[in-house]
Amino acid sequence: MTEEDIEKENATIAKAYKELLKVSYRTLSSEDKKLIRSAFEVALDGHKNQRRKSGEAYIFHPIAVAKIVAQEIGLDATSIAAALLHDVVEDSPDYEIKDIEKRFGKTIARIVEGLTKISSLSKDKDMDVSLQAENFRKMLLTLNDDVRVIIIKIADRLHNMQTMDSMRPDKQDKIASETLYIYAPLAHRIGLYNIKTQLEDLSLKYTEPDVYNDILHKIKESKEEQDLYIKDFSEVIKNALDKENFEYSIKGRPKSIFSIRRKMLAQGVSFDEVYDKFAIRIIYKSEIPDEKFLAWKIYSIVTDHFRPNPMRLRDWITSPKSTGYEALHITVMGPKGRWVEVQVRSERMNEIAEKGYAAHYKYKNNSEKEDSLESWINRLQEALESTEINAVDFVEQFKLNLYSQEIFVFTPNGDLKSLPKGATSLDFAFNIHTEIGMKTRGAKVNGKLVPLSHVLETGDQVEVLTSESAKPNQNWLDYATTARARGKIKSALKEDKKRIGEDGKEILRRKLKQLKITLNERSINELVNYFKLKTSLDLFYRVGIGSIDNTMIKNFAASRSNALMSFIKSKITRKANIPKEEIEKNEVTTNFDSLVFGREEEKLDYKLANCCNPIPGDQVFGFLTVSEGIKVHKKNCPNALSLQSNYAYRIMTARWVDSTQQEFLAQITLTGIDHIGLVNEITSIVSENMHVNMKSISFESDEGLFSGKINVVVKNNTIIKKLLEKLKKINGIDKVTRV
């Protein structure tokens, strides 16, 4: 750059800084201006060697963010200074948080640190949706430090969206998608409606440029006709308001491109068929005590001249939105048979709609301001809280609750509560208090008993019925719609599942011990695969609630034993080359439950690979990993080819060897002629035989004939054969077979 260019740029920077001071929503004292000047000088120094993608000096970005904070959001000098400094620590090696604290104090340092943390979450990363969502949740944790962190971050995102033309298309799409997914809903919740609208429109510009440009073109095409229509409509209202000596202004404005697009999609209509593409706003002067009276007076005047649609009346003056929004929305039939939305707001309400919390703050007296800020942050945190559900569910629930319409219901004492439209009596219970929600057993709406799934309507009076024995169950997730209720229910169910799972694990340990199976990592993996579950907790939980019962566990043990027996028989048959019939005569069968590795057949520590879950008897090999020692894979593992071709030097030969004797489950069936004492005689013979453990017995008798089943655990085939021979000798037994 030439000296002349540098001078011009410096003059432009100075002009932008002076403009920042002029446009502040707050009245800035001389101390405020000194603070802002000092922050500007540090930002100027910290970014002196930086330029944006567009080529302009980087300092223009923090000035623009500070201007949004000062003018559009209306925050104080502390926030303006923090906005100027928001990138200094991250981008300049000359400044650390301790330097900011030393020069500007703890509050500004805390805000700048929060903003630095948020920036580091996602900088230059290609994020999938789950990572975006997790970062969003982390970002919201900064509320515990200072809510201004998030407000300044929204301003930062708005300016980035306004100046994104010089970025690569893939970056534009990524940033715009993240903005729609996270920042626009958050701006809505904080009450920054103007910024929310800008973020949505700018996001659509980059995610669907053809759609955006088409709607923008059509709005411009119809602007002249629209302006004329608004003028004719407003003239009628003006004349009536003038007669009543109102001080007011009337503004006509088109609906946002994003909202028009949303209506087109929701209603399945074209641009021309969207009937309320613009709104008329009446902003009147009023003392606070008279606001409500004057709003309804204006309503009366408007509806005297134009027929209202009673289904689309929205009274957010009597019951403000949870974001603090207040207004009266009337939809009337205007000239040429077109619906027109008329928004009636006092000047105070209009400022709140445009500035969010800053305007609330302005209208509080000094003693109320601190409490007001505290309660506002608490309400915001309430809307954002949920630590147990996964991040994607959290964001989806958060967004769902943000954009939903509100209903207003009463407690038994007459207190008013706002809930999202579609909320149920269970949602109401959790809205009152978490402990009440957890103990809910029912509800009464307008004096009548209703189920927990009952959908509430505006004006309902709701009484929650509780019981100490009541607790959440899985069905409650079908009844609850709000993020708060669902988050608490999921958290409770998760804890309940853990508790039941701990009990189930002990039950399973005892049952397996009876089957001579040790509960360890290997047997747990086998059980998880056998029952087609995902985790060991799923397994323990199902045992705990009884959905995996004794029979199923025994069947698992039997299948395990049968698999081993089949393998052993095939191995013995192959090695000894003897007929299968002779194998049955072997007194003791072998159990392949120990692994040896390499030519020396050493016993080494190992882990079974989760990708193929090898079991005793499988053809296997060892793979020497970097951090987890030897991992054992099946020879036909999906990863075997890759491991053996790419890491041949890490492959170790491995095989199962005989170790200890295994007990096996066998079932014996008996038929014959029934007589007194038969069952006692059978059980005596079974119990007297060494090495036989009777697990269950069942008999049926029909017209003098009987049939029975006995499940026994034995060491080997010889023992079972001896037992069968003894049972056949009992008087009346016709047939004894092993299944």
Task: Give DSSP secondary structure letters for 168-206.
Answer: -HHHHHHHHHHIIIIIHHHHHHHT-HHHHHHHHHHHHHH
The predicted pLDDT at position 737 comes to: 86
The predicted pLDDT at position 662 comes to: 47
The predicted pLDDT at position 521 comes to: 85
Quote the strand ranges of 428-565, DSSP E: 440-445, 448-450, 462-466
Q: Which residues pair with 100 in a beta bridge?
A: none
651, exposed or middle or buried, with CB in 10 Å at 0-12, 13-18, 19+?
A: middle
Q: Which residues contact 460 (CB under 8 A, 6 or more apart)?
A: 409, 410, 445, 446
Which pTM does this prediction carry?
A: 0.56
Looking up tokens 């009884």 gives: 546
Residue-range domains of the chain with CATH? 3-166 (1.10.3210.10), 217-362 (3.30.460.10), 592-658 (no CATH), 664-738 (3.30.70.260)
Percent of the chain as helix, strand, coil, to the nearest 5: 55, 15, 30
Tokens, residue 518? 């040790």
Helices (H), 594-659: 640-646
Q: Single out the catalytic residue among 45, 91, 99, 145.
A: 91
The predicted pLDDT at position 126 comes to: 45
Kindly list the averaged pLDDT for each block of 10 residues, start to end, along the chain of length 739: 81 89 83 92 88 86 92 86 90 86 89 78 48 59 67 91 86 80 79 88 90 90 85 91 93 87 84 80 93 94 90 86 84 85 92 71 53 50 50 54 66 79 90 90 88 87 88 85 84 85 88 86 86 84 81 83 61 49 37 70 83 79 86 82 67 71 70 82 77 76 81 69 85 83
Q: Which residues pair with 736 in a beta bridge?
A: 670
The predicted pLDDT at position 580 comes to: 44
The predicted pLDDT at position 660 comes to: 39
Q: Single out the catalytic residue among 90, 101, 347, 538.
A: 90
Helices (H), 24-144: 30-46, 60-67, 77-84, 88-91, 97-104, 106-122, 129-140
Say how many residues make up the chain. Answer: 739
- Radius of gyration in angstroms for the set of CA atoms belonging to the chain, rounded to a whole number: 37
The predicted pLDDT at position 364 comes to: 58
The predicted pLDDT at position 134 comes to: 59
> 585: number of CA atoms within 13 Å, CB side?
5
Angstrom distance (rounded) from CA 667 to CA 307 = 84
> 499: number of CA atoms within 13 Å, CB side?
6
Quote the strand ranges of 260-300, DSSP E: 278-284
Angstrom distance (rounded) from CA 721 to CA 689 = 12
Which SS3 state, helix, strand or coil, does residue 441 take? Answer: strand
Q: Is 91 a catalytic residue?
A: yes
Q: Is 146 a catalytic residue?
A: no
